[in-house]
C-alpha cells in the first residue's frame, strides 16, 4: 500500500488518535455481534505493546437530534473492549471538554481511552458527518500528531473523525484492518489471479450500477442473483409475476446486458412464493419466468447448479449481496449453494464485500471458510466500483 501504516511511526510515549469502527448492533444495551470490536484488536494491541496511549474514536448508529442519543452510548463497547484487552478502557463519556482533556492528560503509556460516540456531535449541525473543520482540529489537538485510521467501514465518508483529524496531524497512517481491507479487495479487483469471478446479489440494480460496470471490465464473469434479477428479466421481456422490479432501471439493465458480451450471467430459475410473508405456497419455477401471482425470493436449484459450474476453477471470487431472502430458511438455499460453490474451489482467494453477504456467511456458519470478510459494506462497494475512498486518500503517502 502506498500509504504509511502504524508500523511506520514511533508510538512510545505518544498520545495516538485512532479511528475504529465500533458501530456494533445493540439490543437493550447488550452487544449482539462484536465482530467489529474483535477486528480492531490487532491495531489497538500493537499501539499498547509499543508504549503508545491509544485514544479511540468511533460512531454508533445515526444521531440527528437529542432524543436519538438514547441507547447510542459507547459505554457497553468500552466494557466489552476492556474484557477483550484484559485491561481497563478509560471512558469519560463525552466527546469534548475538560472531563475528556483531563482523562487524556492522566493517561500512562499503554493506556486505552474511548471517546463517546462521535455522532453525538451531529445533534448541533452535523459537525461530525459534515466534517466541521473546527471539530477535526479540536480532536486532532488531543493527540501528539499521530492519527491511525483503522475504520474501513467509514473510509468512504469524509467525517471530522477521519478526514478532519487527518488534515490536522503530522502523520495520518493506516491500521492493520484498513491495510488488510485495501489489500484484499483492491488487489483482488486490480490484480486478480484468474479466472476472476464476481457475484452480485441484493435487491436493487440501482445500488450496483457502478459496481457492475466496473466489474464487467475487470472480471471474467459477473454472476447476478437476488431481487435485482427480476429487473434484468423484465428488461428482456421475461414474465416476473409480482417480483421486485425497478421500472425506472429497465433501460439500464438492458444496456448492461448489451455491454456485457456474455459476461453477465443470470439465474435460470427461481424459488417463488405466493406472498413475501404469510405465504401458503412455495415452489421452484420451471425456467426463468415467474408464475402470475407469485414472486421470486431466491434462485432455484437449476441456477445453483449453473452457478456452481460457472465457478469451477475460479482463483479469485468477490461476492457482494445474497442470492435471496436468506434470513428465511425457505429462501436461503441459493445463498448457501453459492457460498459452498465458492469455498470448494482449490486455492481460491474468496472475498466477501461486507453487508448482508457477511451476515449470511456468519449466520449460516461459513465465515471461517472465506479468505476475507470485509467489515464495511458501503466502503467495499465503492472500492469494487473503482472509487477513491476519502478516508484512505487523507492518509500520509509513503
Percent of the chain clearing pLDDT 70 (strictly above): 100
CB 31 within 8 A of CB 58: no
Structure confidence by residue, pLDDT tens digits, 4-42 = 999 999 999 999 999 999 999 999 889 998 989 999 999
In the numeric block, the cell 459477473 is attached to 222
- For residue 354, the model assigns a pLDDT of 79
Averaged over 359-374, what is the pLDDT?
93
Which entry of 3, 14, 15, 36 is annotated as an active-site residue?
36
Structure confidence by residue, pLDDT tens digits, 242-254 = 999 999 999 999 9
Residue 355 is among the residues annotated as catalytic for this protein? yes
Which entry of 210, 378, 386, 387 is annotated as an active-site residue?
378
Structure letter (DSSP) for residue 289: P
Strands 112-114 and 146-149: unpaired
Residue 357 has pLDDT above 80, yes or no: yes
Residue 376 has pLDDT above 90, yes or no: no
Residue 62 is among the residues annotated as catalytic for this protein? no
- For residue 378, the model assigns a pLDDT of 86
Structure confidence by residue, pLDDT tens digits, 190-224 = 999 999 999 999 888 988 999 999 999 999 999 99
| 284 beta partners | 271
Structure confidence by residue, pLDDT tens digits, 276-332 = 999 999 999 999 999 999 999 999 999 999 999 999 999 999 999 999 999 999 999
Which entry of 204, 218, 254, 302 is annotated as an active-site residue?
204
CA distances to 261, 272, 275, 294, 337 from 288, rounded to whole Å, are 20, 11, 18, 13, 18
Residue 36 is among the residues annotated as catalytic for this protein? yes
Residue 114 has pLDDT above 90, yes or no: yes
Global confidence as pTM: 0.89
Which entry of 143, 355, 377, 391 is annotated as an active-site residue?
355
Q: How confident is the model at residue 1 (pLDDT cuts 50, 70, 90)?
A: low
- For residue 343, the model assigns a pLDDT of 96
Euclidean distance between CA atoms 353 and 345, whole angstroms: 19
- For residue 8, the model assigns a pLDDT of 97
Amino acid at each position: 500500500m502506498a500509504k504509511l501504516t502504524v508500523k511506520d511511526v514511533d508510538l512510545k510515549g505518544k498520545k495516538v488518535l485512532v479511528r475504529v469502527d465500533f458501530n456494533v448492533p445493540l439490543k437493550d444495551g447488550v452487544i449482539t455481534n462484536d465482530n467489529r470490536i474483535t477486528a480492531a484488536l490487532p491495531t489497538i494491541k500493537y499501539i499498547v505493546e509499543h508504549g503508545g496511549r491509544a485514544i479511540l474514536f468511533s460512531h454508533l448508529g445515526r444521531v440527528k437530534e437529542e432524543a436519538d442519543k438514547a441507547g447510542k452510548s459507547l459505554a457497553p463497547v468500552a466494557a466489552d473492549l476492556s474484557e477483550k484487552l484484559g485491561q481497563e478502557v478509560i471512558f469519560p463519556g463525552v466527546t469534548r471538554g475538560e472531563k475528556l482533556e483531563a482523562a487524556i492528560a492522566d493517561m500512562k503509556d499503554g493506556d486505552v481511552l474511548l471517546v463517546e460516540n462521535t455522532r453525538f456531535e451531529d445533534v448541533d449541525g452535523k459537525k461530525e458527518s459534515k466534517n466541521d473543520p473546527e471539530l477535526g482540529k479540536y480532536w486532532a489537538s488531543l493527540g501528539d500528531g499521530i492519527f491511525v485510521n483503522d475504520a474501513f467501514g467509514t473510509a468512504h465518508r469524509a467525517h471530522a473523525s477521519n478526514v478532519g483529524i487527518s488534515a490536522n496531524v503530522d502523520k495520518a497512517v493506516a491500521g492493520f484492518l484498513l491495510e488488510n481491507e485495501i489489500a484484499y479487495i483492491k488487489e483482488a479487483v486490480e490484480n486478480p489471479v484468474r479466472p476472476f469471478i464476481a457475484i452480485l446479489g441484493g435487491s436493487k440494480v440501482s445500488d450496483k450500477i457502478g459496481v457492475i460496470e466496473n466489474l464487467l471490465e475487470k472480471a471474467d464473469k459477473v454472476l447476478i442473483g437476488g431481487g435485482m434479477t427480476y429487473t434484468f428479466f423484465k428488461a428482456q421481456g421475461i414474465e416476473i409475476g409480482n417480483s421486485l422490479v425497478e421500472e425506472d432501471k429497465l433501460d439500464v439493465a438492458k444496456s448492461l446486458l448489451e455491454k456485457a458480451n456474455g459476461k453477465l450471467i443470470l439465474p435460470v430459475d427461481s424459488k417463488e412464493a405466493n406472498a413475501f410473508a404469510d405465504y401458503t405456497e412455495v415452489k421452484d419455477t420451471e425456467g426463468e419466468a415467474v408464475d402470475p401471482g407469485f414472486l421470486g425470493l431466491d434462485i432455484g436449484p437449476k441456477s445453483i447448479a449453473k452457478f456452481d459450474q460457472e465457478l469451477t476453477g475460479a482463483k479469485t471470487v468477490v461476492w457482494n449481496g445474497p442470492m435471496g431472502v436468506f434470513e428465511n430458511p425457505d429462501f436461503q438455499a441459493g445463498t448457501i449453494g453459492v457460498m459452498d460453490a465458492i469455498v470448494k474451489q482449490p486455492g481460491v482467494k474468496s472475498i466477501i464485500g461486507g453487508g448482508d453477504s457477511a451476515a449470511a456467511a456468519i449466520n449460516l456458519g461459513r465465515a471461517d471458510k472465506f479468505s476475507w470478510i470485509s467489515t464495511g459494506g458501503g466502503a467495499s462497494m465503492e472500492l469494487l466500483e473503482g472509487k477513491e475512498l476519502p478516508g484512505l486518500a487523507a492518509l500520509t503517502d509513503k
